[in-house]
Each structure stands twice: as structure tokens, then as C-alpha cells.
């Protein structure tokens, strides 16, 4: 199978897959290939935090032209996956000098499937791009055509808990990946000081408690497949829930916008995490760390695309607040404004290249020590 992900998350996803029990997990470009049975496919969809989709390849072949494509698609035993009264949708991705139009590939493949059914049964399944019974993925890399079934359906970032969003919510898979890249493991207090709709705080709680990422999701595409095994899925869900763990620290989200606070609280409630996540109406720049314990901070500051602000002043305030009010804190944030980072006035200890949609960003880390850094290292010796 193939798990698709964002740029920069491949290694994290491979680790997640291995921890779940996948065999032969191999990192590719924005994807990880792996082996597993039907039950593992269910588990991967339910539990993976950094996967966008799980594809199950069913056939691949080298093709040279559209006639080859048509014959290859027709050679597949579609009656094993589809009945004539079912609906289907086809999505193609093409990276080839021979074939250049993904839309054409989709239409040609659709014709091959429909013609095959009509010839064999006199009837044909219909196309439904909104709620298909079967979603087919066709990937052409130069002359190699791979046909897969999409076991997820809608992207796995649709966790099912977010009914309310602010103006630019961060994608749930992106949030989970950034948290894992930051080393968040639930072993200390957590703060998102600009929490918006609460996604970082919710994903942080799910990681800390080892709650399956897509527990609240309404449905997966495999539930409409001909071989859907509800008993097996429910057993996997039950076993996964037994692996949740206790969490003995705090997870807090601040936002100074009352509308964002309301939305975040609603989303936390939807995720059944009110026991673990507290959302507060607070301004980060007027706040301070009120406990003597270690703190892990991850946030997504607003930037030019989201609202007008004086970026020099804003980023300087981030640096000043961290310096003056947040000792013993590992502070991480993501920004697409690489120029503005110099206004923070602190040297980041790490910079990781990531993308938020099409925006190239950096996930940066600032280590705030209790007392001076020099004293910190002298204490250790």
C-alpha cells in the first residue's frame, strides 16, 4: 500500500507505520510504501496522524500510448471491486513526457471501465465525483501506470472534530506532523499561545493520550467496498482504544479574539477532549509562564496573508515575550515570512523546511533557558 503525506513528513510517517506494525515501510517523495493486510489498512486509516490518504495498488503496467492505457484498464477484474449499480470516481496524477493531461487519463480510464461492464453485463456503473462507492487513483510515472483503490476517501486531515474554524485554520495533518517534528511526546505542559480554532492543542492532546487520529471521522471509503468487514474494523477500533494512555500535564490554547476562543472550545468539545485541553481568552504578549515546570510551545503566528500587521513589531514582540516571560520553554512556530524571523531577536536552534499549502515555510525552534544559557550548562557539569 501507499500512504501519501506532505513534503518533509515522510520519515515521521514511516516511523508511525513501523510503530503500528507495517512491513517493509519505504520512504518516497511525499509518500511511504508499505505492506499490510486488510485489517492493517483499516488501522492505518484510523490511527496514522501524518497520512493524507492510504492507497491500495491493484495493478501496474508499462504503457506507451492511450490504446495501451485503455487495454490495461480493461484487463483489470473490475467486478471484484464494483457492481453495475455502484458509482465510481477516477483521479489521475501524471508525471510523464508521454502523457501530459491527467483529465484525459481519467476520462479514457472511465471509458475503459464502463465499456467493459456494458459489454459483459449490458449495464454500466455511473460516475459520481461527490459520493462514489469506489474511488480509483491512477498514477503514471513516465511509462509506468499504477492503478490503486483509494481506501480513505476524503483526505485524512478531515478528522471529524472541526465544525468551527477561524479565517485560516491549519490543516490537521500538518499540525500533527509539526508537533511530531517538534518532538512533542506528551511528557510536559503544552501551550499554543495563538490557538485560532484549536487544532494544535487538539492534535497535541491526541498524541499525548495516544488517541487514534481519525476516531471522530464520519466515514472511510473502504466502508463502501464489496469486501467491507465491519466486525474486523470494530475490533481494530476497540484494540486501538485500549492503547490510549493517561496524561498528567496541562494543554492550553490562548487567543485574544473571543470568536476564535468560542470556535476552539467547540472543536475541543467535538473531539471529546475537554478533560485535557483548556482554551483561554488571553493575549500572548501580556502573558507569562506561571509554573516552574518545563513547557513545550507550538504555534502558527498570523502573517500577511491572514491579516494586516506590522511584522517587524509583531515578531519582535514574540522574541521579547519569550525572552522575558517564558523561561525553561522549547518554543516552536511556523512562518512563511522568512525575512521577518530576523526581527525575533533570538537565534533559532533549529529550522526545518515545510510547506503550508503552497507556501514554503520554516518550522523554527527557540530554546528558552531558566536563567542564563551559560549557567544552564555549568549546572550540568
The pLDDT averaged over each successive group of 10 residues in the chain (381 residues) is 95 96 93 96 97 96 93 95 94 89 91 94 92 94 94 91 68 96 96 94 97 94 94 96 93 93 93 95 92 92 64 92 94 92 93 91 93 49 41
Q: Are 2-150 and 172-210+219-380 equal in CATH topology? A: no
> In sequence order, what are the residues at sequence separation of 6 or more whose Cβ sits closer than 8 angstroms to the Cβ of residue 96?
140, 141, 142, 143
Q: What is the assigned CATH class of domain 2-150?
A: alpha beta
Burial class (CB within 10 angstroms; exposed 0-12, middle 13-18, buried 19+) of 300: buried
Q: How far apart are CA 364 and CA 204, in angstroms?
A: 18
Residue 379: the pLDDT is 46
Residue 374: the pLDDT is 44
Residue 381: the pLDDT is 41
**Topology of the domain comprising 172-210+219-380:** Rossmann fold (3.40.50)
Q: How far apart are CA 23 and CA 26, in angstroms?
A: 9
Cross-strand partners of 331:
297, 366
Domain ranges of the chain: 2-150, 172-210+219-380
**Ranges of H-type helices in 218-364:** 230-241, 258-270, 311-325
DSSP state of 274: T
Q: How far apart are CA 274 and CA 269, in angstroms?
A: 6
> In sequence order, what are the residues at sequence separation of 6 or more whose Cβ sits closer than 8 angstroms to the Cβ of residue 307?
167
What are the angstrom distances between the C-alpha of 213 and each of 172, 173, 209, 239, 339? 9, 9, 11, 14, 34
Contact 320, 343 (CB under 8 A): no
Strand pairing report for 189-192 and 295-299: parallel
What are the angstrom distances between the C-alpha of 62 and each of 30, 86, 112, 317? 23, 29, 17, 57
Report helix, strand or coil for 34.
strand
Report helix, strand or coil for 165.
coil
Q: Which residue has the cell 509518500?
A: 31
Residue 361: the pLDDT is 92
Q: How far apart are CA 153 and CA 52, in angstroms?
A: 10
Residue 73: the pLDDT is 96
What are the angstrom distances between the C-alpha of 95 and each of 13, 58, 67? 23, 20, 18
Q: How far apart are CA 298 and CA 179, in angstroms?
A: 7
Residue 380: the pLDDT is 47
Amino acid at each position: 500500500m501507499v500512504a501519501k503525506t506532505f513534503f518533509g513528513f515522510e520519515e515521521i510517517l514511516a516511523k508511525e507505520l513501523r510503530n503500528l506494525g507495517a512491513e517493509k515501510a519505504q520512504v518516497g517523495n511525499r509518500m511511504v510504501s508499505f505492506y499490510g493486510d486488510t485489517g492493517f489498512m483499516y488501522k492505518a486509516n484510523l490511527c496514522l496522524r501524518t497520512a493524507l490518504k492510504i492507497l491500495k495498488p491493484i495493478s501496474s503496467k508499462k504503457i506507451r500510448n492511450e490504446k495501451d492505457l485503455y487495454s490495461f484498464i480493461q484487463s483489470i477484474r473490475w467486478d471484484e471491486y464494483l457492481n453495475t449499480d455502484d458509482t465510481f470516481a477516477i483521479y489521475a496524477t501524471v508525471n510523464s513526457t508521454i502523457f501530459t493531461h491527467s483529465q484525459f487519463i481519467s476520462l479514457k480510464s472511465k471509458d475503459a471501465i464502463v465499456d467493459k461492464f456494458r459489454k459483459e453485463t449490458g449495464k454500466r456503473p455511473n460516475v459520481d465525483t461527490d459520493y462514489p462507492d469506489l474511488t480509483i487513483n491512477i498514477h503514471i510515472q513516465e511509462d509506468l501506470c499504477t492503478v490503486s483503490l483509494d481506501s480513505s476517501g476524503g483526505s485524512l486531515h478531515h478528522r471529524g472534530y472541526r465544525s468551527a474554524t477561524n479565517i485560516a485554520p491549519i490543516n490537521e495533518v500538518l499540525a500533527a506532523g509539526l508537533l511530531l517534528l517538534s518532538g512533542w511526546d506528551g511528557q510536559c505542559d503544552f501551550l499554543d499561545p495563538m490557538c485560532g480554532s484549536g487544532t494544535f492543542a487538539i492534535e497535541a492532546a491526541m498524541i499525548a493520550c495516544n488517541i487514534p487520529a481519525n476516531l471522530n471521522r464520519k466515514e472511510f471509503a473502504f466502508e463502501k467496498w464489496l469486501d467491507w468487514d465491519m466486525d474486523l474494523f470494530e475490533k481494530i477500533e476497540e484494540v486501538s482504544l485500549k492503547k490510549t494512555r493517561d496524561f498528567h500535564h496541562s494543554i492550553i490554547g490562548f487567543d485574544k479574539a473571543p470568536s476564535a476562543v468560542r470556535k476552539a472550545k467547540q472543536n475541543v468539545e467535538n473531539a471529546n477532549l475537554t478533560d485535557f485541553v483548556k482554551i483561554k481568552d488571553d493575549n500572548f504578549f501580556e502573558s507569562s509562564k506561571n509554573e516552574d515546570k518545563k513547557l513545550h510551545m507550538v504555534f502558527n503566528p498570523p502573517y500577511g496573508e491572514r491579516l494586516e500587521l506590522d511584522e517587524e513589531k509583531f515578531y519582535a514582540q514574540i522574541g521579547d515575550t519569550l525572552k522575558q516571560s517564558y523561561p525553561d520553554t522549547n518554543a516552536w512556530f511556523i512562518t512563511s515570512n522568512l525575512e521577518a524571523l530576523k526581527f525575533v531577536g533570538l537565534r533559532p536552534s533549529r529550522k526545518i523546511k515545510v510547506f503550508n499549502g503552497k507556501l514554503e515555510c520554516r518550522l523554527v525552534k527557540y530554546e528558552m533557558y531558566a536563567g542564563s544559557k551559560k549557567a544552564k550548562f555549568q549546572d550540568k557539569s
